[in-house]
Amino acid sequence: MVPRGRLRSLMLALSALCAQILLTATPSAHATPVVERVFSNAVGARDYYLHVPPGDPTGKPLMVYLHGCTDPQRQLADTGFALTRLADELGFVLAYPIQTGAANERFCWNWFDPANQPRGQGESSIIADLTTALIDEFGLDRARVYVGGYSAGGAMSTVLAAAYPDLYAAIAPMAGGPYQLDPQIFRADLSGASIVSAMGARARPVPGFFLQDLADQTSLYPIGRANLAQWLGAYRLAGEAATPSVPTAVTVNTDPVPTTVERYDTGSCALAEFHTPLGPDHIGGGLLMQSARGFALQHTMMNFLLAHRIGGPRQACG
């Protein structure tokens, strides 16, 4: 047996190696134009980037991607808006809302602030109203609308799913945290009851694509497991009583890094996928989701999301 200290050293070394690979010799991203716009509602205004794939957008799906912290405009520009390549290939409209330094000095979405969590209030309402405005403007498919993100963006996507389960067919909360997690004491209701309570009469299981790196020292791995446990609980309370407690399938892939994938299915409905990459750390994981190096992982995320159509109350899959 490998001593625990040596095993930890080995894992950290592998994580560092993966990060180095990702941060060097990254292929250039697919050059696709994005347009910078502004959206405002009664709560406030946010800039956002928009990419519409070639052809008539009518009836296409919509993906809203929420960035993590630290200078998001430079972050997205430096990585070439990598998801636009997938938007062209798979045929969906893509929006990147941008947090302001005035709202958070580190440009984080304020997912942890109770003022931003209820339906119709705070930052979540700006993102949700932007989503609805884009659906109306381009005649998009209301049954295939998705939101996801990384770190603070991942955590905000869980807020949006709880407040707007009738808007988003599925979510991708990556390296985020459970709904209403108290970041000071790392405590949250893991039963899922708080999510279903927030959903109210609109309550439905909202399928999720989860990702939590094993070596992440910022969003720790147990936080990701707690996030999954909370949503599995919410699925049961919101209508899918047969939601499994253990994966219905486990697979392993190596592109772009070694990753274990757990699936949680009920019948033909894929409720959740939980991805556990072995390295890199938090920043490297964010780069995987926003650079050409992580194209295979981004493809996997979008394939999961696009397979879902919104269900009615108490329904996960439409």
CA separation, residue 17 to residues 54, 125, 165 (Å): 38, 40, 40
How many whole angstroms separate alpha carbon 130 and alpha carbon 48? 9
Structure tokens at 228: 């999954």
- Report pLDDT for 29: 43
Q: Are 181 and 155 in contact (CB under 8 A)?
A: yes
Q: What is the pLDDT of residues 207-229, one digit of tens each?
A: 999 999 988 888 888 899 999 99
What confidence category does residue 23 fall into, taking pLDDT thresholds of 50, 70 and 90? very low
Residue 265 burial (CB count, 10 A): 17
The answer to which of 17-21, 82-86, 114-118 has the lowest mean pLDDT is 17-21
Gap between the Cα atoms of 203 and 196, Å rounded: 6
Rounded to an integer, the average pLDDT of 23-41 is 66
User: 88: pLDDT confidence band, cut at 50, 70 and 90?
Assistant: very high
Asked whether the beta carbons of 310 and 166 are under 8 A apart, the reply is: yes
- pLDDT on residue 20: 36
Q: Compute the average pLDDT of residues 131-157.
A: 97
Report CA dihedral (243, 246, 249, 254) to the nearest 10 degrees: 120
Pair of tokens at residue 309: 């159509």
Work out the pLDDT band at 173, boundaries 50, 70, 90: very high
Contact 109, 152 (CB under 8 A): yes
Total-model pTM: 0.89
Residues in the chain: 318
Q: Which residues are catalytic?
A: 151
What CATH superfamily classification does 31-306 receive?
Answer: Alpha/Beta hydrolase fold, catalytic domain (3.40.50.1820)
pLDDT at 206 over 70: yes
The band of 2, judged by pLDDT with boundaries at 50, 70 and 90, is very low
- Confidence band for 183, pLDDT divided at 50, 70 and 90: confident
